[in-house]
A and B are shown apart, each in its own frame.
Chain A
């Protein structure tokens, strides 16, 4: 056997039995594998998304092109809305409103640093449990239970394909262990070449209003540099940017906080000219939002966390004192 053959054979052995004689992967390692698989594999799947009384069948197509993931998520039985993430932009098609919201895609380099990833500190915030599950879609399954140690975040139950670590089913659970949102794949094609045409929008957007963030340099928005004075334990600032949010006419400050699994966005923008409005919150699925007005600005916190969490964060947002972060020990912005 030549040298090359030996190397290939050894490599095949490692791939075929990566864990022979080794400890089985931990729950955290399964989560890390899942995160990597979702970002790096090509797949085409159908899933049922349910949140409260609402459920819709959706299709997701994901493909990696030149090292960047492109993605299409489309509602098949509801509004016909779809989101297409190209290499450069995110397009949100709303045929029911004849509107396309366009957002520039974040820089991949900094985004990789900013993306929440389950790290060693996750164990301090969540208890993780791993068990064998019943087969789904003809595949062997590992179930990972992610339970929060406090009331600031939701729990998750994930059914992961043993072969690929792709989540075949996922549930978001509130503090009462009730499911607030779930995703069940009913079909998932893995390991096949994804036809690029499957990533093209199915909506004919001719005549639609395209709401696009401006590309030219604009003056910094008032509110830049504002910061929450308090964030729940474990959350740290992972990114900040000053950019319009699609559908709104103004430039705003966008701060992103993460605990390694859950994340919260804080948007700070000039308050509407019609005058002060009372605080307001909204929820859809596991996502909660809370808006309040502070010194002529509207502050909105959004995230897949309990309503109390977004409310507490939004209510603590204030201008920096003397140009330095107030109580926010959070972290240093890594993205602009």
Chain B
């Protein structure tokens, strides 16, 4: 990755990338999987600075953050001031908007069998800092299970509201095997 691209990605996260450059960078990311991963790391690095301790680490997270920081991918710890004043359309009010500080839980949770509230409590009330990765009995869904869930989400999205479809399909896109998954063993009978 060239210094120019690094600068463009930092500028994108800061909301300072010129529209012409933004289009080029987006097209480049669409073609280049490595660039997409690198950008994800930049976002992770920025979020880790803004919300220390509030992000559940995925495997390799620390190494990726470290690598991103070494690469100069840190972003400001505060949102740009343009939130309070008119800004050019292309400017991003953002950099800290990627993950709400109160966001909860791992991305995919498997529960079995016959839980009676366990999963609900786990998903709704657990603070984001809970060590879900160390939950006993944890396991990942198989690729077939993941693909099946994605298929359901795509089919379901066709009939959801406009907002619901965007959420369902975004989740189908995001449901890849690289994210944290946890199995909660339940002891209650149905």
Contacts and interface: CB of A to CB of B under 8 A. Distances in A.
Our verdict on whether A and B bind, yes or no, reads yes
Interface of A: 34-35, 38-39, 46, 48-60, 73-83, 90, 92, 94-97, 99, 101, 103, 105-106, 111, 114-117, 134-138, 156, 158, 167, 169-172, 174-176, 178-184, 186-189, 202, 238-239, 245-248, 254, 256, 258, 261-263, 265, 267, 278-289, 300, 302-304, 306-308, 311, 315
Contact of B152 (A136, A184, A302): A302
Contacts of A246: 151, 154-155
Contact of B173 (A79, A171, A248, A286): A79
Contact of B100 (A35, A179, A263): A179
B47 A55 contact: yes
A256 B10 CA distance: 43
B62 interface: no
A180 B155 contact: no
Nearest to B161: A116
B92 interface: yes
Nearest to A288: B123
B159 A245 contact: no
A135 B103 contact: no
A282 B110 contact: yes
Given A46-B26, A186-B15, 6 more contacts: A78-B176, A83-B154, A90-B158, A101-B154, A261-B161, A285-B167
B138 interface: no
Interface string B55-90: 111100000000000000000000000111111111
Contact of A48 (B29, B85, B97): B97
Contacts of B36: 75-78, 80
Name the prevailing secondary structure of the A interface residues: strand
Contact of A60 (B93, B115, B166): B166
B39 A285 contact: no
Nearest to B89: A138
Contacts of B177: 96
25 contacts: A52-B104, A52-B105, A53-B99, A54-B179, A55-B43, A60-B166, A78-B176, A138-B89, A174-B123, A178-B104, A182-B100, A184-B97, A245-B154, A258-B159, A263-B156, A265-B152, A267-B155, A278-B112, A278-B114, A281-B111, A281-B119, A284-B149, A287-B171, A302-B153, A306-B120
Interface residues of B, number: 91
A92 B172 contact: yes
B114 A187 contact: no
A281 B103 contact: no
A79 B89 CA distance: 28
Interface string B107-140: 1111111110101100111001000000000000
B159 A263 contact: yes
B174 to A, nearest CB: 5
A137 B87 contact: yes
Contacts of A187: 22, 89-90, 92
